């Protein structure tokens, strides 16, 4: 295990019946870096991150966080350790406003006349503070998240992760289906998080985005990790060949 690895996997394997989705993956994720995980459909990328996030329990193998075994099959325990996962559907409740989504499952209450009620004002002020810290511009935090743009919803999910002191943020296709300006803002936000020392893991099929913002590129092929490259020491052509064939350039 690399001393600088904040997350490390050893022989990590996940089988669904006779299908091996992830096959004995050894991988170190460097602290404070942006690591891209790329690969074709069914390569094992999503299954891999779901084992890190606690959604799936590995069939065999281990996940280590900061040198210690990570709880398996327990998403809440993983989140409480500082690992937040932002899935492609963002896990936002579209009918709720921004503060309600940021505090979803961790609501703040106060007592009034002996009754326990939601402290809406506290949640609003804290949501405004974290949005301002991240330079996220949303017209009104009282709007339902369903009325926000794709980039704004992505920003709310990132804001929620940072508010709850995430040290590692896993992002599944963070720039998918966004316009040029919104995509640029999300990439800027990811780079800003890196400057604050947050470790970012990005699943993406956007090679231009990967080479623009990521430090390391990990390639999955048929459930195996077939490449772990520093961006400066590889090319789009080499990564593309690894994705398609599982083999690098000669």
Which tens digits make up the pLDDT trace of 64-117? 999 999 998 899 899 999 999 998 776 789 999 999 999 988 899 988 888 899
Q: Which runs of E-coded beta strand occur in the chain? A: 5-16, 19-30, 34-38, 60-65, 68-69, 83-86, 109-112, 115-118, 168-172, 199-203, 216-221, 224-230
Strands 68-69 and 60-65: antiparallel
Enumerate residues 6+ apart whose C-beta is below 8 A from 204: 36, 37, 38, 173, 174, 175, 176, 210
Domain stops at, among 129, 164, 199: 164
Determine the Cα–Cα distance for residues 16 and 229; give it in Å rounded to an integer.
Answer: 29
Domain stops at, among 164, 189, 219: 164
Residue 35 lies in a domain: yes
Residue 37 lies in a domain: yes
Quick one: pLDDT at residue 248?
Answer: 67
With a cut of 70, say whether residue 250 has pLDDT above it.
no
Higher pLDDT, 180 or 200: 200
For the segment 42-53, the average pLDDT, to the nearest whole number, is: 95
Quick one: pLDDT at residue 36?
Answer: 97
- 157 and 230 belong to one structural domain: no
Quick one: pLDDT at residue 2?
Answer: 65
Which range of residues forms the domain containing residue 157? Answer: 93-164
Closest CA to 134 of 102, 105, 103, 106: 102
- 44 and 157 belong to one structural domain: no
State the chain's mean pLDDT as an integer.
91
| Token pair belonging to 210 | 């990967």
CA distances from 220 to 31, 39, 43, 111, 210 (A): 20, 5, 6, 51, 15
Backbone dihedral angles phi then psi of residue 167, each to the nearest 5 degrees: -100, -25
Residue 41 lies in a domain: yes
- 212 and 242 belong to one structural domain: yes
Determine the Cα–Cα distance for residues 159 and 136; give it in Å rounded to an integer.
Answer: 8
- 173 and 160 belong to one structural domain: no
For the segment 139-157, the average pLDDT, to the nearest whole number, is: 89
Domains in the chain: how many in total?
A: 2
Percent of the chain with pLDDT over 70: 97
Neighbour-count burial for 208-225, b at 16+ CB within 10 Å, e otherwise: ebbbebbebbbbbbebbb
Q: In which band, very low, low, confident or very high, does the pLDDT at 1 lie, cut at 50, 70 and 90?
A: low
With a cut of 90, say whether residue 150 has pLDDT above it.
no
Quick one: pLDDT at residue 174?
Answer: 86
pLDDT digits (tens, 9 = 90+) for 26-40: 999 999 999 999 999
Asked if 104 and 61 touch (Cβ cutoff 8 Å), the reply is no
pLDDT digits (tens, 9 = 90+) for 181-224: 888 888 999 999 999 999 999 999 999 999 999 999 999 999 99
- 157 and 171 belong to one structural domain: no
Domain stops at, among 145, 164, 183: 164
Determine the Cα–Cα distance for residues 206 and 165; give it in Å rounded to an integer.
Answer: 28
Residue 88 lies in a domain: no
- 151 and 38 belong to one structural domain: no
Determine the Cα–Cα distance for residues 56 and 51; give it in Å rounded to an integer.
Answer: 5
> Among positive and negative, which fits the CA dihedral 129, 171, 199, 182?
negative
Residue 87 lies in a domain: no
- 194 and 226 belong to one structural domain: yes
């Amino acid at each position: 295990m690399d001393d600088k690895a904040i997350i490390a996997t050893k022989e990590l394997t996940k089988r669904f019946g006779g299908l091996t989705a992830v096959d004995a993956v050894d991988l170190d994720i460097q602290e404070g870096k942006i690591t891209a995980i790329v690969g074709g459909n069914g390569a094992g990328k999503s299954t891999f991150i779901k084992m890190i996030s606690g959604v799936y329990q590995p069939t065999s193998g281990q996940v280590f966080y900061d040198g210690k075994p990570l709880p398996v099959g327990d998403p809440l325990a993983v989140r409480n350790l500082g690992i937040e996962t932002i899935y492609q559907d963002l896990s936002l409740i579209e009918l709720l406003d921004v503060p309600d989504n940021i505090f979803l499952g961790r609501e703040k209450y106060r007592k009034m006349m002996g009754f326990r009620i939601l402290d809406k004002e506290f949640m609003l002020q804290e949501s405004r503070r974290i949005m301002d810290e991240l330079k996220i511009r949303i017209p009104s935090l009282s709007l339902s998240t369903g009325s926000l743009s794709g980039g704004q919803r992505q920003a709310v999910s990132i804001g929620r992760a940072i508010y709850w002191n995430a040290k590692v943020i896993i992002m599944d296709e963070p720039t998918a289906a966004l316009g040029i300006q919104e995509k640029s803002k999300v990439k800027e936000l990811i780079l800003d998080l890196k400057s604050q020392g947050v470790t970012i893991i990005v699943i993406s099929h956007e090679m231009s985005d990967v080479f623009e913002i990521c430090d390391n590129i990990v390639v999955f092929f048929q459930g195996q990790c077939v490449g772990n490259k520093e961006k400066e020491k590889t090319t789009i052509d080499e990564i593309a060949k690894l994705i398609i064939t599982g083999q690098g350039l000669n």
